[in-house]
Chain A
């Protein structure tokens, strides 16, 4: 029973990690229809900017997180302007290849600047929370909480604010949005910026649990894509549900069947869901 409860907590923590990274991606995919494979690269950059702020600027953890989020947001907006905006009418394969090009570049640049060695970001809240016989580190609690806050905040932003609703409108009907006078240019940039900021925040929160390496984004990339498709492309609650679902499947599949099976199960689930419900679990834009 203890083991089961511990695994439950493990799955929750892992789900928080996945959901947090998936949120930013689903936004870009939902609104811009860009399969942004560079998202993993932005995620990784976020961790490195935070690391650099911590070690070179000697700021605290949370200022570092904010600096990193701002810088990555700016970079993401720049990427949209320079690369994805000109490709907005091209077939999907093309922005996808461009995104892969960006990912290659970011990874190589980071390795050139910071070297290939693992870097560390210390936990802002070290220590362990004991719940009876079950344990969880505070950092993981922070990740779970942050993923829920980010989802609620994003949902509020999209539904209740004017700027947010323009994004929402564009995700539902791009041409219609343009006709009613929404500046689709600005919305595109904004969406990328938010997505970049989310990636950076996710990276800063997750980095103390894991470690910072140039290839940390690559590991996440495919899984996160599986998650947003699973949840339904562009759906914010879908990304959260998909993230936790994948985590539960991996943890409990690994526990009850075999750890060898844990990596396969996420994709098996994805293939199964798509075969039965090609549109994903949640409809887009809900």
Chain B
């Protein structure tokens, strides 16, 4: 996205967040709030993927694995080691960052499709290890009864909300933090270097950018964000199972990102909001949900390859021309 457009949007974000913060005060149903919390959590995951794919141009398919590692770290530390959630959450983020860095050290030996498939392999392995390591992760049973963050329920009650309302605000804060971090990274020298790498590694190298180090840092940021979302998710749902840590989830998030618009700041939130809500609506169609969803995906990549943000820009340009 052009810096100009970003500046224009800069005032949009605070308005959006304030509006979002008002939602629970209208006393929506707990299902509505649940959708809101889910959208925000998955949007954070999508922001993580956007850093590595949208900005740096590397399709990492192990993303849901790191979401899972963050979630399981919180689950295991709080359930089995008796840690406080507020300590376990950052611990999960740190672990993901570290593991992401280590993965990068090996994975960046490969390029292009091979990198994607390599990370796909890693993603499958992470899921299988979580699934088979019964003693630590509960295996197929998963982890049940992960407690909500201590203090959250009392805090929500103080402002007259139920626990879901409290989670809604917690997720909103996490989302704001993510957007701020990602935006700052994107518009720093670091972010501009990533865009240069996306344009072509050789070219970036000739411009004096340390490609390898930048890729590693992008990977680290991306996996840390995935773990950040994972930790919150585990506490919110109260259950963690291995099924959600696999490639299917990565592809789902990839879909959110593509629908919103790759490499844009609004894209991840927009795409997640639209697609998550859509999939919930389609559920009401019963047997027809995937009969509609599948073709929608195809139409989307064929007619809006740049996502909703791209579609909007195109419409705006057309409108602009008419004005002129």
Contact = CB atoms under 8 A, between A and B. Distances in A.
Interface in B272-288: 287-288
Interface residues of B, number: 40
B106 to A, nearest CB: 5
Contacts of A111: 287
B302 A87 contact: yes
A211 B131 CA distance: 25
A111 B287 CA distance: 8
Given A229-B114, A260-B132, A264-B129, A102 B302 contact: no
B293 interface: yes
Contacts of B290: 104-105, 107-108
Interface in B122-136: 122, 124-125, 128-129, 132
Contact of B121 (A107, A112, A226, A260): A226
A25 to B, nearest CB: 13
B322 interface: no
Contact of B111 (A90, A112, A261, A278): A278
A100 B113 contact: no
Interface in B194-229: none
A170 interface: no
Contacts of A107: 290
- Find the residue from B59, B128, B129, B298 having the highest chain A CB count within 10 A: B298
A271 B109 contact: no
Given A271-B121, A275-B109, A90 B305 contact: yes
Interface stretch (B4-12, B32-40, B247-255): B247-255
Contacts of A105: 290-291, 294-295, 298
Contacts of A225: 117, 120
Contacts of B298: 83, 98, 101-102, 105
Contacts of B293: 101, 104
A152 B303 CA distance: 40
Contacts of A241: none
B66 interface: no
B167 interface: no
Interface string B52-90: 010000010000000000000000000000000000000
Contacts of B125: 264, 267-268, 271
Contacts of B301: 87, 90, 94-95, 97-98, 101
A103 interface: yes
Nearest to A271: B121
B258 interface: yes
Interface string B83-119: 0000000000000000000000010011101101110
B302 A83 contact: yes
A264 B128 contact: yes
A274 B294 contact: no
B117 A98 contact: no
B121 A270 contact: yes
A92 interface: yes
A108 B305 contact: no
A92 B113 contact: yes
A274 B110 contact: yes
Contacts of B110: 274-275, 278
A260 B128 CA distance: 9
A93 interface: yes
Interface in A5-63: 35
A285 to B, nearest CB: 15
Interface string B287-321: 11111011111101110010000000000000000
B297 A101 contact: yes
Given A104-B290, A225-B120, A98 B258 contact: no
Interface string A251-286: 000000000110110011011001100111000000
Contact of A278 (B114, B121, B132, B254): B114
Interface string A203-246: 00000000000000000001001100100010000000000000
Contacts of B288: 108, 112
Contact of A263 (B128, B254, B289): B128
B296 to A, nearest CB: 7
Interface string B167-188: 0000000000000000000000
A129 interface: no
A275 B106 contact: yes
Contacts of B247: 222
Given A97-B301, A104-B297, A112 B291 contact: yes
A126 interface: no
A163 B116 CA distance: 32
A145 interface: no
Contacts of B113: 35, 92, 233
Contacts of B129: 264
Contact of B258 (A83, A97, A233): A97
A181 interface: no
Contact of B287 (A83, A101, A108, A229): A108
Contacts of A83: 298, 302
A225 B124 CA distance: 12
6 contacts: A92-B113, A98-B297, A98-B298, A105-B294, A275-B106, A278-B114
Interface of A: 35, 83, 86-87, 90, 92-95, 97-98, 100-109, 111-112, 222, 225-226, 229, 233, 260-261, 263-264, 267-268, 270-271, 274-275, 278-280
